[in-house]
Structure 1
Amino acid sequence: MTAKHSGPLGGRPAATTRGRLSDIAIGLFTEQGFDETSVDDIAAAAGIARRTLFRYYPSKNSLAWGEFGDHLDGLRALLAETPEDVPLGESLRYALVEFNEVPDEMIEQHRRRMSLLLTVPALQAHSMLMYGDWRQVIAKHCADRLGAAPDGHTPQTVAWMTLGTALAAYDTWLATPGSDLAELMWAGSQTLVDGVGSLGR
């Protein structure tokens, strides 16, 4: 696969006003604390009015996620580009690794973003909604391959497993300076491909 479709979960340079606002917010959240940073603080740092900021993001929580809708479109495109002869598990593995590819110049910013998303209690409820949308993209891909309904048990189980694989890689990456996110995604998804039974007793 040659196309690049990355974003959280995945990193991509901010190329739009929405992306720039999210980057400003991430910087303030990291420096001052999420709870201690107001929407007015973010608007002031961006040089815009509070009402203008709300044209781009409906809430402070959503700022931490950036251009999430665009990122989901990228994940759908990655999965759709997978040749039909590639097994389902491998298609998920390649999509996970490529979707979460982070350009060198974005690594530290992406680390800050993911640290906030995975550790700030005030973001957890909103994050679950975002993860739910992410899982549905995976479930739809699985359902299409299996001839099943996206809300069926098997597509949903695989979607949860895929999300868990990604989050486990991020958890290790954040806790282990110098670790390689792509390598962690690849290694972790081996269990996704082979199943728990391959691990032995």
Structure 2
Amino acid sequence: MSTTGATDRGGRPALTSAHQLAAVAQALFVERGFEQTSVDDIAAAAGVSRRTFFRYFSTKADVLWVESPTEIATFRRLLDEAPATEPWRHAIIRTAPTALHHPPEERTWMLHRAQLLLTVPAVQEKAALRHDEWRRIATAFVARRRDTDEGDLVAIAAGHATLAATLGAHEYWIAHSDQDLPDLHGRFLDLLLPAD
């Protein structure tokens, strides 16, 4: 995405990616509060113009979804590529943590995102659509593996369990951030996914 129009404020180099801008915004939200942080505050801290911010995001809450399309597409792709012989339950436990995994240098960004997603009401309202898509991907996968429609009881249960495990792992991680998030995610999935 273009960053034409970015400015250098206070000698700081202007940021060049949506992810970097999102990281700055999330840090401000955690430090000052979501409602107390304006787009102007984010732009100033990032060394870009207000106009540049809106080239990347429609609202300040949208910064939290900067990686969501990639994560969702990765989850769908990994399940599609799961070996036919791999039990559906094992496939979800293996792929869901992988789809949400980011490099160690993104740990602070991930922790900030989790804190905001689980504690800020204005953010939680927008989260519903992304959460629903995550759930539907798991439901559809289990239905295919069980050769049923998506109204199948086990498929629906698996979809909801996948979402609950994902949220639960992040909630636990916030309070135990010294632990490994992908490992926690896998453990939550193992606890909550139904047996076939």
Q: Which residue of 1 aligns with 2:73?
A: 73
User: Relative to 1, partners in 2 of residues 1:36 and 1:142: Cα closer, same or farther, differing over 3 Å?
Assistant: same
Q: Which residue of 1 aligns with 2:179?
A: 179
List per-residue Cα deviations over 1:135-184 (Å, max 9, x = no partner). Answer: 12222222322333346554332111111111111111111242222222
Query: Higher relative contact order at CA 8 Å, sep ≥6: structure 1 or structure 2?
Result: 1
What is the deviation of 1:187? 2.0
| Partner AA of 1:144 in structure 2 | R
For residues 4-153 of structure 1, the aligned pairs below 5 Å read 17-150=17-150, 153=153
Structure 1 unaligned blocks of 5 or more: 1-15, 196-201
User: Relative to 1, partners in 2 of residues 1:18 and 1:128: Cα closer, same or farther, differing over 3 Å?
Assistant: same
Secondary structure of the equivalent of 2:55?
A: helix
List per-residue Cα deviations over 1:108-155 (Å, max 9, x = no partner). Answer: 221111111111122111112221122122222223223333465543
Separation of aligned partners in 1, 2:102 and 2:67? 15
What is the deviation of 1:194? 5.5
Q: Which residue of 2 aligns with 1:3?
A: none
Asked if structure 1 preserves the Cα contact closer than 8 Å seen for 2:158 and 2:194, the reply is no
Asked if structure 2 preserves the Cα contact closer than 8 Å seen for 1:117 and 1:123, the reply is yes
Separation of aligned partners in 2, 1:77 and 1:54? 30
Separation of aligned partners in 2, 1:21 and 1:153? 42
Separation of aligned partners in 2, 1:92 and 1:23? 28
Asked if structure 1 preserves the Cα contact closer than 8 Å seen for 2:162 and 2:193, the reply is no
| Partner AA of 1:176 in structure 2 | H
Q: Which residue of 1 aligns with 2:7?
A: none
Separation of aligned partners in 1, 2:57 and 2:155? 31
User: Relative to 1, partners in 2 of residues 1:39 and 1:99: Cα closer, same or farther, differing over 3 Å?
Assistant: same
Secondary structure of the equivalent of 1:148?
A: coil
Secondary structure of the equivalent of 2:85?
A: coil
- Identical-pair percentage: 33
Q: Which residue of 1 aligns with 2:164?
A: 164
Q: Which residue of 2 aligns with 1:6?
A: none
Separation of aligned partners in 2, 1:30 and 1:147? 45
Separation of aligned partners in 1, 2:149 and 2:21? 38
Q: Root-mean-square deviation (CA), in Å?
A: 2.1
TM-score normalized by the length of structure 1: 0.79
In the alignment of these two chains, the number of paired residues is 180
| Partner AA of 1:78 in structure 2 | L
Separation of aligned partners in 1, 2:75 and 2:40? 32
Structure with higher Rg: it is 2
Secondary structure of the equivalent of 2:158?
A: helix
Separation of aligned partners in 2, 1:40 and 1:148? 51
Q: Which residue of 2 aligns with 1:5?
A: none
| Partner AA of 1:43 in structure 2 | A
What is the deviation of 1:102? 3.7
